Amino acid sequence: MSNPTVLTTRNLTAGYGGHPAINDISVELRSDEVLCLIGHNGAGKSTLLKCLFGLLTPEAGTVTIDGKETTAESARKITDLGVAMVPEGRGVFPSLTVREIFSLGMHAVGIPRKEQGERVDWVLDILPAIKEFMNRPAGTLSGGQQQMVSIGRALLSRPRILLMDEPSIGLAPKLFQDLLAPIRALQQRDGLSILLVEQNVREALKISDRAVVMKSGMMIWEGLPAELEDNERLMELY
């Protein structure tokens, strides 16, 4: 039997200025799984994530988290339900140190000051490499280090559901597992549910339990990563 669903969309349609970017999307994220979402540039992956995290109001359809409809809720409300997002692009302020970025992040989601030290220690246990650059301005860090900071910041709220929008963008494929293996380990240890948008398809499928493919705003395929090992099948879809 499959795991229960933690996040569902039903017939979700959304876009910009009256032009739909996603059309009639119905997808389920189950508990304790990494669901990999792949598709070409412009397929609508980021638009879907924005709707899930309350950054864009859909034109039609619903989003449900743990059985509660959240379609028109704000990002802050959705964070309170245990969801966090690693946005597309590194999203770190270049002039702030990593420590300052973490402080701001915790302030934004309302983590009490007395719990903040413990939260940072927890994140540094998962991503120990960050310890070496905690006091450096983010703008002086490498792309991979900045991505790690962006993931670390999302983890500070101790989410049960993590939405990640191309966390490995701009990195050499060989750095993918350095960045994502600790997150897969955390997910398996603590039972997180992760929706992972990736262009780095081969590497992403290695750490995913299921996959969905989007094309031109539509969901065109759903299945197991092993079914995409066949290159022809993948090329046909992607």
Q: Using CB under 6 A as the criterion, which residues of the chain lie in contact with ligand ATP when the complex forms?
A: 16, 21, 39, 41-47, 88
Nearer to ligand ATP, 75 or 124 (CB): 75
Angle ∠(168,46,34) on CA atoms, nearest 5: 60
Nearer to ligand ATP, 43 or 201 (CB): 43
- Shortest approach of ligand ATP to residue 208 CB, angstroms? 17
- Shortest approach of ligand ATP to residue 154 CB, angstroms? 18
35: DSSP letter = E
Nearer to ligand ATP, 17 or 67 (CB): 17
- CB within 8 A of 38, min separation 6: which ones? 45, 197, 198, 199, 201, 204, 211, 212, 213, 214, 238
- Shortest approach of ligand ATP to residue 1 CB, angstroms? 32
- Shortest approach of ligand ATP to residue 40 CB, angstroms? 7
Helix (H) or strand (E) holding 102: helix 98-108
- Shortest approach of ligand ATP to residue 10 CB, angstroms? 19
Residue pair 63/133 in contact (Cβ under 8 Å)? The answer is: no
Nearer to ligand ATP, 127 or 218 (CB): 218
User: Which pair of tokens denotes residue 147?
Assistant: 């991505």
202: DSSP letter = H
Nearer to ligand ATP, 21 or 65 (CB): 21
What are residue 64's DSSP bridge partners?
Answer: 8, 69
